[in-house]
Amino acid sequence: MSKPQRPQLTRVVLDILKRHRPSVVELGRLVSELDGVSHVSIVVGEVDVDTETVKMTIEGTNLDYEEIEKAIKRFGATIQSIDEVIYSSGR
């Protein structure tokens, strides 16, 4: 009998603070190239003189949150909050 599959991270919604440039296109590309990611959506929210707050939705299979966090940090942006997380077993 096969072991029941454990739920995997399939969706994360993050609130991110970043400077205007590089743009959300570069940030989206960076995250979309991570393992397991199949869909990235970014919506710009509050815009300040030097910075902007964006809502990033990442979907995929078996997402590695640590990798996502590391990539965003390396980009020079800050995760202000994790607004939604979905773990799904795909059953």
Give the one residue of 30, 57, 64, 69 binding other proteins; rule: CB under 8 A: 30
Query: Among residues 43, 47, 61, 76, which is the contact residue for other proteins, using CB under 8 A?
Result: 76
Residue 63, Cβ density class (10 Å: 0-12 exposed, 13-18 middle, ≥19 buried)? buried
Least distance (Å) between residue 51 CB and other proteins: 5
- Out of 39, 44, 73, 85, the only residue in the binding site for other proteins (CB under 8 A) is 73
The DSSP secondary structure of 28-67, one letter per residue, reads: HHHHHTSTTEEEEEEEEEEE-SSEEEEEEEEEESS--HHH
**Under the rule (CB under 8 A), what is the footprint of other proteins?**
17-19, 21-22, 26, 30, 33, 50-51, 73-78
